[in-house]
Amino acid sequence: MSKPIQELSALMPAYNEEEVLDSSISEAVIALDALCEEWELVIVDDGSTDATPEILEGWSDRDSRVRVLTQPENSGYSRALIDGFSACRYEVIFYTDADAQFDLEHIADLYPELAEAEMVAGYRLGRQDRPIRHLTSAVYNWLQSRMLGLRVKDVNCAFKLFRRTFFDQVQLSSEGFLIDAELFARAQSAGLSWRQVGVPHRPRLSGSTTVSVSTVFETLRELRALKRSLDGPAVASPDTEREGPLSSQ
């Protein structure tokens, strides 16, 4: 049976993920082998201070398809992703986090939608996070909707698929945790289309999140800066389940 995806770059940012990283990479390799004829797994170590660098070195030594980019110091989630996107080599690019809260086999659910969109964004089904994460996520979604005119089910869901050409048409500059909102906002400003597809979500088995309520205030500052940087006013999109504001019919 042929594999549905010819080639794909999968990107994972990682910061102090020693407790879950080995199993996360192992599961990713199995899923990518099943889905793709050719693939690479690009992992950006964002200045980890635990055993993350050693785990990544072991994987890259064993499998040349696992590529490691190392930030000399912690530069933040957005910078890790921006640098990682630039390093990806294949025509289809995917990203998720290294905390194993998604099964990469669900890339297959997003991939067919890429035929008529530049970005396919997952949204979490049966979200398995602590109440504080639900609260901060609700605040993020509300702020981003109000300030940028984005009507998106789950802005910060770390399960997104792109055509490589998406990154030829947008210039990302976010700091902190604003990268997901910027992806949608830049796509909207450039007239690029997207789809939204539900993806099962799993509990975080170990480690801890780096997001807290205090980041909401920093995000508000970043949202203001992003809004100022966009060319022209944002246009609200229709609230549909699987289509972005300018999606092809």
What was the pLDDT predicted at 220? 74
Q: What is the pTM of this model?
A: 0.85
Cβ proximity of 15 and 46 under 8 Å: yes
150, 181 Cβ separation under 8 angstroms:
yes
User: What is the maximal distance between C-alpha atoms in the chain?
Assistant: 50
- CATH numbers and ranges of domains, the chain: 5-229 (3.90.550.10)
Q: Which residues touch 40 (CB under 8 Å, ≥6 apart)?
A: 8, 9, 10, 65, 66, 67, 88, 89, 90
- Give the residues of the chain that fall short of pLDDT 50: 231, 233-249
